[in-house]
Homo-oligomer: A and B are copies of this chain.
């Protein structure tokens, strides 16, 4: 018995909808079992993603924070070549150290690992957020003074 034989057995299993095969020929043993009892076809069944998919339509009244978060997810896929700087905490996003000062950074600006790119204020504490990557800022995803949640994308950076 060799790989070719086994291939044939597998083919036979698929064609005849066999769930399990155990064969011992001489000292050769083969035990094959298909993934799921029901022989579920490849592709995710509708049931698995549909509830989550449907709900947004029913709750159009999502707030800024939540909507931004939701929107950032598909965007993430489309812009996979960019590095994302995410918020490490829940809080309020500020682009500059104080209302009258210049912003920490801007679209087109160079940043390095230790560049402070913004502040996230949580419980009266001003937390300086560092880029932790190097490259050029391509997008600022949150407006000044807007609430952000954990993991929310703040900036997108073109790697150096």
Name A's B-contacting residues (CB within 8 A): 1-3, 5-10, 12-14, 16-47, 49-50, 53
Q: What are 25 A-B pairs with beta-carbon distances under 8 A?
A: A1-B3, A1-B25, A3-B8, A3-B9, A6-B12, A6-B23, A7-B8, A7-B12, A17-B34, A18-B32, A18-B35, A19-B36, A20-B32, A21-B31, A21-B32, A22-B29, A23-B29, A23-B30, A36-B37, A36-B46, A37-B53, A38-B46, A38-B50, A40-B46, A41-B42
- B49 A47 Cβ-Cβ under 8 A: no
Majority SS of interface residues in chain A?
mixed
How many identical chains are in the complex?
2
Task: Point out the residues of chain B lying under 8 angstroms from A49, CB to CB.
Answer: 38
